[in-house]
Structure 1
């Protein structure tokens, strides 16, 4: 179907990105995902998506390496042509890693890693993506509840997410003429492998999060994917420049 829209999701091989990819595919959209090192996991996601009847493809990408972006988008463009398309419609900036280090112990190298992955990489990947994006599409940037509330040892990561939230509002304003909307989804603590699986395996932290969350538990990947999928539909077209927190009511 040549009129089927296409979504590009960074970091789509596992965790939140995997669930986003599957939920988006279930809405009948083609999906392109990126992975950093785990090709086997990415290939499994692609195989699951193809079973739903839409197109899917995985590309390796280090989102912290801005020098690789031109070659990446050349590959994406070639793939789009192979499915009779010239552009994609939605960009989901999801790829990322986390560190849990006190502010007083955070090194410049750790800070630079967080900057390159979560802010600089997103900023310039989005800029490069615009040449291959259709008008009337959308950009979804993944932030964190930690940009609103605080838990110890996340200052570098959370600061970059705060920058992304400001960036998203500017993108929404500046791309308005192309009818491209831009929004933030900010998950709370989610039980995935992110940050060495801290929210999945650290029972002390899980208990603390549950106790300060209105719905009384740590989130799961399945709590987030459907929200992102909704933002990739015409039903969400009038949502623009907004921060949508999905934390189960953490620290209200």
Structure 2
């Protein structure tokens, strides 16, 4: 994949960081977005440089769709200057946050944040970036195992991820004429700081997840980073419109 360019939203931490580093290790140049943590984003860029790939970190609030036109123009200007290209090969819609609340107690503010960040944002950001995605490129949307199985407290979050899974099929159908493959990756529970780091830091929760996972452990960020690299590689060239769950067999 050397010489390809990937844009990964939410690349400064967690799954986005892991995906960026695994792609960089295969020679892919990375444009990452971050919301507010400049130092973390720069640290990831330095790691990418250390792997021999080129990196560029750009600020973006994926929940603010009014900013997408400006972001797209910023990217359009940066591509030839930094990479000598006019387009990108891969888009990974990864950025997100977790909100834990029962259905009965979910507030409208929580719902609006989740829909803007996890559904409206990827919908219109991808739309805005379409002219900059090369024919034959790949789009990978990140969903969640929670769109398949139900755990109390994630009704709103999982609803958005269910929407992303439907959107993925429509994107695959409509963008197939350009040779663009579109798939959705659904991680299970992963040890990151997502949702306050509960899976990573709460020993009881960690043990509960491991006991309900076929492979007997909780996922690690590298499990997802490796899956992203595999799906964007040549081995995924005949895969489109599919939901791939990377959960180690959680709640089978």
Matching of residues 155-170 of structure 1 within 5 Å? 155-170=155-170
* Runs of 4+, deviation exceeding 2 Å: none
TM-superposition CA deviations, 1:38-86 (whole Å, max 9, x none): 1101001001111222211000100000011111111111111112100
Matching of residues 122-161 of structure 1 within 5 Å? 122-161=122-161
Matching of residues 110-129 of structure 1 within 5 Å? 110-129=110-129
User: How many aligned positions are there?
Assistant: 250
Structure 2: segments with no counterpart, 5+ residues:
none
TM-superposition CA deviations, 1:75-133 (whole Å, max 9, x none): 11111111210000110000000011111100011001000000000100010110111
Q: Could you tell me which residue of structure 1 aligns to residue 50 of structure 2? A: 51
Q: Could you tell me which residue of structure 1 aligns to residue 91 of structure 2? A: 91
Q: Give 1:150 deviation, angstroms.
A: 1.1
Q: Could you tell me which residue of structure 1 aligns to residue 14 of structure 2? A: 15
Which deviates the most, 207-216 or 93-102? 207-216
Does residue 101 (structure 1) correspond to residue 101 (structure 2)? The answer is yes
Q: Could you tell me which residue of structure 2 aligns to residue 63 of structure 1? A: 62
**TM-score of the pair, normalised by structure 1:** 0.97
Does residue 25 (structure 1) correspond to residue 24 (structure 2)? The answer is yes
Task: Please give the alpha-carbon distance, in whole angstroms, between the structure 2 residues aligned to 1:72 and 1:231.
Answer: 26
Task: Please give the alpha-carbon distance, in whole angstroms, between the structure 1 residues aligned to 2:94 and 2:13.
Answer: 11
Structure 1: segments with no counterpart, 5+ residues:
none
Which deviates the most, 232-241 or 122-131? 232-241
> Does the residue aligned with 1:175 lie in a helix, a strand or coil?
helix
Q: Could you tell me which residue of structure 1 aligns to residue 234 of structure 2? A: 234
Task: Please give the alpha-carbon distance, in whole angstroms, between the structure 2 residues aligned to 1:233 and 1:216.
Answer: 28
Task: Please give the alpha-carbon distance, in whole angstroms, between the structure 2 residues aligned to 1:108 and 1:39.
Answer: 30
Q: Give 1:234 deviation, angstroms.
A: 2.1
Task: Please give the alpha-carbon distance, in whole angstroms, between the structure 1 residues aligned to 2:204 and 2:108.
Answer: 29
> Does the residue aligned with 1:251 lie in a helix, a strand or coil?
coil
**TM-score of the pair, normalised by structure 2:** 0.97
TM-superposition CA deviations, 1:160-188 (whole Å, max 9, x none): 00000000000000001000000011000
Does residue 176 (structure 1) correspond to residue 176 (structure 2)? The answer is yes
Q: Could you tell me which residue of structure 2 aligns to residue 35 of structure 1? A: 34
